[in-house]
Amino acid sequence: MRIIPAIDIIEGKCVRLSKGDYSTQKIYNESPLEVAKSFEAHGIRHLHLVDLDGAKSNHIVNYKVLEEVATKTSLQIDFGGGLKSDEDLKIAFNSGARQITGGSIAVKDRPTFLKWIKRYRAEKIILGADAMNEKIAVSGWQEGSDIELIPFIREYRQQGIKYVICTDIDKDGMLQGPSVDLYKKILEDAVNAETAIELNRISEGENNDLRLIASGGITTMDDVETLRDLGCEGAILGKAIYENKISLKELETYILNT
């Protein structure tokens, strides 16, 4: 299972929120690059970089931070927040993103998101499926919806999506453990839907097996191991690192032993 630390950006600074509430903003470092380099120094290879200004503004904002981290580290970056247009996507990839995460656009502009999946392929596009009470939330989690989480994921899998980041908003930043039961339900649904997915394989024959990335509430290395054993492909860690609940040395040891 991949270890994927998160850097959330507001006004070019590394911050964390609780439950996506911008009023709970806490600045952890003035330099996202410094934080990214500390991750890299401990053997971490992946980074989840979120443009929180972009998520509120509905267009990419902090692409210069992305460019700096991408050019000055070897981290493989998935970037999200405010990606709403073809131009936003072009800027993100040109600035060094290896993958992008689309959340709100997958809800509000399905034709554009489907076009991105077709153009850039499933290895480049991640579905952001963030939810509260198993209902999808959008616009930096500022808006709720009536869209059921698991059918939402299932429908996009039928369109070729492989990677899904799922955050239980109630868990995010609370350091109370991840939504293991929710991830179990998602993975079980993926198994049950496999026959239907098989009938909708894209013509090139790509493997559409779900690669679920858990996010929100991860607090201890026991949580990490539980998610690994559950079958998650990746785990995004944020506040647990910044609040020293999980040390970078522990993550380095985990990576070396897996």
Domain around 9: 2-256
- Element containing residue 235 per DSSP (H, E): strand 234-237
**Is residue 134 a contact partner of residue 123, using CB atoms and an 8 Å limit?**
no
If one counts the domains in the chain, the total is: 1
Chain position carrying tokens 């779900």: 210
One digit per residue, the tens of pLDDT, for the chain of length 258 reads 999 999 999 999 999 888 778 889 999 999 999 999 999 999 999 999 999 999 888 899 999 999 999 999 999 999 999 999 999 999 999 999 999 999 989 999 999 999 999 999 999 999 999 888 899 987 655 666 789 999 999 999 999 999 999 998 888 777 889 999 999 999 999 988 655 545 454 434 444 589 999 999 999 999 999 999 999 999 999 999 999 999 999 999 999 998
Enumerate the β-bridge partners of residue 78. 48, 99
> Rounded to whole angstroms, how far apart are CA atoms 104 and 69?
25
CB count within 10 Å of CB 1 equals 18
CA atoms in the 13 A half-sphere facing the CB of 200: 15
pTM of the model: 0.91
Strands 135-136 and 163-168: unpaired
Catalytic residue among 51, 53, 130, 223: 130
> Rounded to whole angstroms, how far apart are CA atoms 55 and 57?
6
Task: Return the CATH number at 180.
Answer: 3.20.20.70
Assess whether 130 carries a catalytic annotation: yes
Q: Which amino acid is at 217?
A: G
